[in-house]
Structure 1
Amino acid sequence: MYVKTTTRKAKSGTIRYLHLAHNDWDASKGRSVPKVLYSFGREDKLDRDAVRRLVASLSQLMRPGQTPPGGPHLTFAESRPYGGAYVLDQLWHRLGMAKILAGLASPGRGRPRDAAAAERVLFGLVANRALAPSSKLAASEWMSHDVCINGLGEVSDDACYRAMDWLHQVHGELEKQVYLAAAGLLGLEVDLLLFDTTSTYFELEEADEAVTRNSRGEEAGSEDDADPARSAGFRTYGRSRDDRDDLPQIVIGLAVTRDGIPVRVWCWPGNTTDATLIQQVRSDVREWSPAKIIWVADRDLSPAEGRRALRRNTGSYIIGEKLRPDSPHARAALSCPGRYRPIAANLRVREVRVGDTEDRFVLCHSPDAAARDAAARGRLVADLEGRIAGSDGLTAAKRAELRRRIAAVPGLDRFLRVTPGGLLRVDKAKERAERDLDGTYLLRCADPDLSAEDVALGYKQLLEVERSWRDMKTVLKLRPVYHRLEGRIRAHVLLCWLALLLVRVAENKAGDTWTRMRRELDRIHIVTFTGSTGTFQQVTELSDPARDLLARLETDPPRRIFHLSPAES
């Protein structure tokens, strides 16, 4: 039986009538014909309460637990975020990551027992860094119960660690193939690689024990204390970029293209010198690309040693320095004659001569940066004035105590002046001196063929590296690192790099930040329903912003019906 609808034309429009009908076989016509059992009347005047009473009365004829006529009853089981993992998976396959890993799983390369499953676990760990960064133990729970990833079901923490160990075994060839695939598919310009380093520290009381390392800085396995190649362990003390010299650390290097795509990552023991890491980076990249590479770094690179290593190993570099009144180059650069030439809406340059050196110097000025510097200085001076207000009435001991507290804040201490009588004042002369240098940078370049404009624009791209470090540490949660073994620490950094690679590709495609994209994509869910006939999973309806985002990412919307699983008979 079923509900049949008939229509009739009237002056007021089309009127619909509802009937309870069933099909009877008509031998003379040789086909089934509908037979009306009961008429409910006009649809717009239907007594729905009477229909409900009829259905309830007929349901009493059913056995307990039997499905009433009218279709199976479905129960909502769960809803998991799907959009973010779906987009990352599409980019993962677009870059050929699954194919690359399948090739690296050949015999003799530490082949996992199930290469396809290991690839899915590795992708799940990469997606975890981009969507909900957590420890590997928490990541296994996240993949198993809190997100929906194609081809990935329950994941154990042991599976995560095995996948990381495999990633560490094949990382050299993996990085090379990812670089070549990204350069080819994305059309990257790799003639200019921006390189910078950072460090991450570990909450340890003691550094790792000394080990023997090969020429690439990897542990070689010898335990002979007299071996000249024996050096400090991986997590050891060094010059921290996070101002935590009291804790063991490792050094991490990142090479980024003009477009902000991270194409290579390195890890070294925490006490590795700039000269050593620059030499290795240059050697590694030379194997992949014969193009000319210019290294762009900021003054965090140790000045003398770093420049010597760059000149010896590359011959080309750009190093920038924010000018301060006490800078040894500030007065000489500003005293050189010449006019600024505009090269962009917010940037102008002029080449100057500073000292007797082979390096070229380019003075850059940005009006936008000058406005930001002035605003920041204004806040510091206002804060300092508020702290020292009324200090003239304090005792000498109290003023000395206030002086020590201010000295602990370098930005404030820079503008503090102490009079011969011990009174605290704002140093107006230093404030004026800094005002003259607002938005001004001095760039040092060792390449004679680059124009001043190219030097300035090349250094400006260093912001892409700094943004990558900022995202690695804040969005992808590079720190804290929970691993103890060197191989797993290196694998953790590789996972962060792969996540950053996917994030940057998505940002360049969509023209938006990953934080905003992730928020919109996480609204796309997989909803699971269960019933007597089985289980089915369906993707929620896409909103207009989500459809627009997928179009900008050149990604097809996910299929509406995700999975069907009939009940066992």
Structure 2
Amino acid sequence: MFVQVTQCKHGSATYFTYLVRESFRTPKGPRSRTICNITALPPETRELISQSLQGRSFVAAESLQLTEAWNCGGLVVLHQAWEEFGWRAIFDFVADARRAGLLKAMILGRILFPSAKMALVDHARGTLLAAACGLDQASEDFDEDDLYASMDQLNEHWVGIEKQLYQKSFPQGVSLVLYDLTSVYFEGNGPSKISPYGHSRDHRSDRPQVLLVVATDAQGLPLHLEVLRGNRGDTTTLQGLLSTLRRRFGIREAVFVFDGGMSSKVNLEAMDELKLKYVTRLGASKLEELLASLPAEQSPELWDRTQVMEIVREGKRYVIAGGSWRQQRDQQRRQARLSKAENELKRLAAVQRKKVNPQKLASQVGRALQRLKAHKYFDYAVDPNGQLQWSRRTEVIQAEKIRDGLYLLGTNATPEQIPSTGVLSHYKNLLEVEDAFCHLKDYLRVRPVFHWRPDRVRNHVRICFLAYWLSAKLERQWRQKDQTIEVHNLLRQLQAIRLGRLEVQGKPFKTMVSQVPKDLNEILNKLGLLPLFSQPPTWAPGVCSK
């Protein structure tokens, strides 16, 4: 049987008739007959009859219940990327399937809800993290001791993991290596062997720390990570990195880009001996020396700051670059320092002292100016009566204005190998590594570190490194589709998509994915991710559909 709808017109009015009809066979062929006319019934009732005749089942709304719902959108994308990138094979060395799953959980959790290991169970509650990692969704407790034992599996296997990642990502090798380092501090004393006090990039000189060294390709995809003692000088880290990259990955010919902290004479000579090309930033003193040697017709005041200038001195190649934005930034920074310094000088001069000590006051002034990074801008003196007098060094300020926005790059590559504009673009790529460190330390929350064992400190950082690698790989794919949204932001927004389980009269009926938010629908479509949410993931617990 079926519902037949007929339409007829009388003048300007249109009338619809709804008939329940039955098909049957006769010796002369198929025929149909009217069973009843349901036109007078409400539209909802007519639709219910029509759907029932098509074989669909209906239940009372009161018997339908949503028994479970899990946040899962970001996990769906990460699980699909995990499989696509072949990461399942990376942890084949872990014999225990649960420990391999816990390693995966810590990596995915570091992207979606970075936190201490102890808090992972709280953040995982209400999500499909356990199921996405091949763990039992109902019973997995993410015990802290089990997480640490799983982290320990990385010991003695990290070199193999890095080699696998390198081979999967760079089958043709790399031609450009970007290198940078940063520091990460500890809460508490930290492991004594690797966490001394040192120069803190986080402005936490009161905390012990370690150094993180990372090398990436031109697009910011990481190649190598190392954890070093926190009091090592920047210049002492480069040659060890070169040795590791050559031995572990077979990198023999590449251009290495690094910042001024690593560009010591010894390091540059070592790279020349290894016949490796480099691009590095050099210090302000070298820039001043080169500018002073230029003829008057090449004075910086006459330059187009949007262009680069190449200078060759004593067989060495230099590129001077800059821009209006950097020039404006340097001017604002200097003006702010001058203003703060003069306010501090006025304050110190106005203090009423019971006992005049010119030497002590001069010492206070010097320390204050050093703290405000303005010592070079002022001449100051304290007379025997304790009166503080100061004046600006106008010649120093004027000379610095000429250099505003300029910075100096050095390279041992020939113009045929790397043109001047290429030198600049390689160095700008290094800024992406610095951004990577910001991501690594901020949104992955590498810092602060609470571990007490050196191997667990390293493994904690390695978990963060793997999480960043996964994010960077996704970001590269999305850039190829002209999408520049930050990976971690989108993944965390996608967690609002939920997987729900419906029951009818206490029995499982259907597992459904909630609707994709409208503001994310277009982005997911452009990224080709929308089909992932057309049906429940196959790895979700108890997936069933009707």
Please report the TM-score for the alignment, with normalisation by the length of structure 1: 0.74
Structure 1 contact 126–496 (Cα < 8 Å) conserved: yes
Matches of 2:217 and 2:280 in 1, distance apart?
17
Q: Give the partner amino acid of 1:534.
A: P
Asked whether 1:176 is paired with 2:163, we answer yes
**C-alpha distance 169-331 of structure 1, shift in aligned 2 (>3 A):** closer
Aligned position for 2:176: 192
Counterparts in 2 of 1:266-415, with a 5 A limit? 266-272=226-232, 277-287=237-247, 288-301=249-262, 303-307=264-268, 309-311=270-272, 315-321=276-282, 323=284, 327=285, 329-337=287-295, 346-353=306-313, 359-384=316-341, 395=352, 403=365, 406-407=368-369, 409-413=371-375, 415=377
Asked whether 1:454 is paired with 2:422, we answer yes
Shift of 1:284: 2.4
Q: Give the partner amino acid of 1:279.
A: Q
Aligned position for 1:60: none
Aligned-residue identity in percent: 23
Q: Equivalent residue of 1:436, what SS?
A: helix
Q: Equivalent residue of 2:254, what SS?
A: coil
Q: Equivalent residue of 1:137, what SS?
A: helix
Aligned position for 1:485: 453
Structure 1 contact 251–270 (Cα < 8 Å) conserved: yes
Q: Give the partner amino acid of 2:321.
A: C
Match of 1:465 among 411, 423, 433: 433
Match of 1:87 among 77, 95, 100: 77
Asked whether 1:533 is paired with 2:507, we answer yes
Matches of 1:487 and 1:474 in 2, distance apart?
22
Q: Equivalent residue of 1:368, what SS?
A: helix
Matches of 1:349 and 1:456 in 2, distance apart?
10
Q: Which moved more, 1:343-352 or 1:158-167?
A: 343-352
Q: Equivalent residue of 1:418, what SS?
A: strand
Shift of 1:191: 0.8
**C-alpha distance 238-307 of structure 1, shift in aligned 2 (>3 A):** farther
Q: Give the partner amino acid of 1:91.
A: A
Structure 2 contact 111–488 (Cα < 8 Å) conserved: no
Match of 1:548 among 505, 518, 522: 522
Structure 1 contact 349–453 (Cα < 8 Å) conserved: no
Q: How far does the alpha carbon of each residue in 1:85-129 deviate from its partner, in whole angstroms, 9 at most, with x for none?
A: 222222222221113333xx2xxxxx4222xx4443322211222
Aligned position for 1:63: none
Matches of 1:70 and 1:95 in 2, distance apart?
46
Match of 2:149 among 162, 165, 171: 162
Q: Give the partner amino acid of 1:511.
A: T
Shift of 1:472: 0.7
Q: Equivalent residue of 1:484, what SS?
A: coil
Structure 1 contact 317–446 (Cα < 8 Å) conserved: yes
Aligned position for 1:54: none
Structure 1 contact 295–318 (Cα < 8 Å) conserved: yes
Shift of 1:198: 1.6
Counterparts in 2 of 1:211-230, with a 5 A limit? none
Gaps of 5+ in 1: 52-67, 106-110, 209-232
Q: Give the partner amino acid of 2:332.
A: A
Number of residue pairs the alignment of both structures matches = 503
Match of 1:557 among 513, 525, 531: 531
**C-alpha distance 253-391 of structure 1, shift in aligned 2 (>3 A):** closer
Measured on the aligned residues, the alpha-carbon RMSD in Å equals 4.3
Counterparts in 2 of 1:192-211, with a 5 A limit? 192-205=176-189, 208=192
Asked whether 1:437 is paired with 2:395, we answer no
Match of 1:136 among 117, 121, 126: 117
Gaps of 5+ in 2: 49-57
Aligned position for 2:471: 503
Q: Equivalent residue of 1:204, what SS?
A: coil
**C-alpha distance 86-429 of structure 1, shift in aligned 2 (>3 A):** farther
**C-alpha distance 553-163 of structure 1, shift in aligned 2 (>3 A):** farther
Structure 2 contact 21–35 (Cα < 8 Å) conserved: yes
Aligned position for 1:59: none
Shift of 1:207: 5.1
Shift of 1:556: 5.0
Q: Which moved more, 1:381-390 or 1:22-31?
A: 22-31
Q: Equivalent residue of 1:461, what SS?
A: helix
Structure 2 contact 75–108 (Cα < 8 Å) conserved: yes
Aligned position for 1:127: 108
Q: Equivalent residue of 1:318, what SS?
A: strand
**C-alpha distance 428-526 of structure 1, shift in aligned 2 (>3 A):** farther
Q: Equivalent residue of 1:145, what SS?
A: coil
Matches of 2:165 and 2:254 in 1, distance apart?
19
Q: Give the partner amino acid of 1:86.
A: V
